[in-house]
Structure formats: C-alpha cells, structure tokens
Amino acid sequence: AFVVTENCILCKYTDCVAVCPVDCFYEGPNFLVIHPDECIDCGLCEPECPAKAIFSEDDLPDDQLEFVQLNAELAEIWPNITEYKAAPADAADWDGKAGKLQYLKR
Ligand code: SF4
Ligand code: F3S
C-alpha cells in the first residue's frame, strides 16, 4: 500500500484525494491517511502531493516507518474523504518543517 507521511500534517493539500480511483483516503483534523487494505497500489496519488508526503510502503524513508501503523490505525476511525478541499491558509508555512508529528490531531 501507499502511505501518507509526516509532511502532510498541517498541510493537507488533498490533491491526492482527487485522483484516487478507489477513494481510500480518510480525513482527520490536520492529516490524511490511506487505508492499507483498500489501496490498490496504482501510484497515482504520489506525484500529486505538493508536500511530497506520499510514499510506497516499500520506499518509505527510515524515519517515517511508524506511519505505516498510523495510516492503518487512523483509517479505521476517521471518515472517508472523496473530494478535494482547500488546504489550510498556512499550509505553505508548514511544508517541509521538521517534527510535525507532535502536532497530529486525532
Ligand atoms: Fe489511491 Fe492509488 Fe494512492 Fe492507493 S496508490 S491511495 S489506490 S491513488
Ligand atoms: Fe496530504 Fe499531500 Fe494529500 S499534503 S492531503 S498527502 S496531497
């Protein structure tokens, strides 16, 4: 499956949602996740993310490995999102900032 990683937090651009053929994104207050059992590995979302936050599980950077479990866990409790929506007004300010996991809201 593909995995949404830390740089999505507080950016949440949602361009990924617009291209997913199986609607397997789930939305929290400031982060999105992919349901690993629903993702068909088409790869369409990865190049769409302006924050470069999406990776194939096989290509995950070492410091993002915990996001495999986070995507699986949060996809079970957050609502499905199927349409693009405007990003937070300060999304660009957060893009690329380190240590955003501490700001994840559930
Ligand atoms: Fe959806 Fe394809 Fe991305 Fe999986 S890889 S989340 S199926 S767009
Ligand atoms: Fe997040 Fe990138 Fe999608 S910032 S909402 S993974 S387009």
Q: What is the pLDDT of residues 2-44, one digit of tens each?
A: 999 999 999 999 999 999 999 999 999 999 999 999 999 999 9
Burial per residue of 60-89, b for 16 or more beta-carbon CB atoms within 10 angstroms, e otherwise: beeebeebeebbbebbeebeebeeeeebee
Task: Look at residue 33 in the predicted model and tell me its pLDDT.
Answer: 99
Q: Give the binding-site residues of ligand 2, using a 6 Å CB cut-off.
A: 4, 8, 11-16, 32, 48-49, 51, 53-54
Residue 37 identity (one-letter amino acid): D
Q: What is the pLDDT of residues 44-85, one digit of tens each?
A: 999 999 999 999 999 999 999 999 999 999 999 999 999 999
H or E stretch at 6: none
Task: Look at residue 45 in the predicted model and tell me its pLDDT.
Answer: 98
H or E stretch at 55: strand 54-56
Average pLDDT value for residue range 83-103: 98
Whether residue 91 contacts residue 10, with contact meaning beta carbons closer than 8 Å, is answered with: yes
- Ligand minimally distant from the alpha carbon of residue 53: 2
- Ligand minimally distant from the alpha carbon of residue 44: 1
Q: How far is the CA of 84 from the centre of ligand 1 (A)?
A: 15
Residue 7 identity (one-letter amino acid): N
Q: How far is the CA of 36 from the centre of ligand 2 (A)?
A: 16
